[in-house]
Amino acid sequence: MEAVFFVLIGVALFSHSWNLLGLYPDGRTMGLFTGALGLGSLIAITFAPMVLVGGDPDANVLAETNIIKLLIVAWAGYAIGVGAQGLWEFDDRAIGFYSAILTAISAVAFIYFAVNMANAYGNDVLIALSAATLLLSVMAGIMFFYLAIPFNGLRLVAGWFLLVGSAVVAGIGLLIVTALIEVK
């Protein structure tokens, strides 16, 4: 589930970065892509198996599952919001303010994975999930400062950071999907 989510949200953020960099002549293209990928992320909750299941039997699998699902729903909401803004040209400040909450949710997930998963799973899973959630948290924070507080000097910084960060997040998801990072 989390591997599919990392790939889908990485691709959605990649599409959003091209719009921030001014390379889409019309925002509706980006809106269509990110909205569809946000909906796909919500669907990923139901059909994809979890990497976390199968770890240490003493680990709190329910808490880990809930944190991943919360992260997926929160980021899918962001992708759908960006998609709606692109399709119907809504105000993008609301997305910026939502990014502040998204930063907090992603930071809590990062702290949880970095602290609580060291003994239950291998270092590969720990590093992959921690790195992906840390990148998501930083990207959401940058989007907050760019969109909520109209600081136009951050447009290129936000665009390039989303471009590179989303490629890394999607790459982590692909590594998990291809079982190069696996639970031992």
Note whether 105 and 153 are within 8 A (CB). Answer: no
What is the predicted pLDDT for the residue at 71? 93
Long-range contacts of 157-162 (CB under 8 A, 24+ apart): 158/17, 158/20, 159/17, 159/18, 159/20, 159/21, 159/22, 160/17, 160/21, 161/17, 162/13, 162/14, 162/16, 162/17, 162/20
Give dist(CA 97, CA 103) in Å, integer. 10
**pTM score, two decimals?**
0.87
Give every residue of the chain whose pLDDT is below 50, as ranges: 53-54, 57-58, 184
pLDDT given for residue 120 in this prediction: 62
- pLDDT at residue 164 in the model: 97
> Please, what CATH class does the domain formed by 2-177 belong to?
mainly alpha
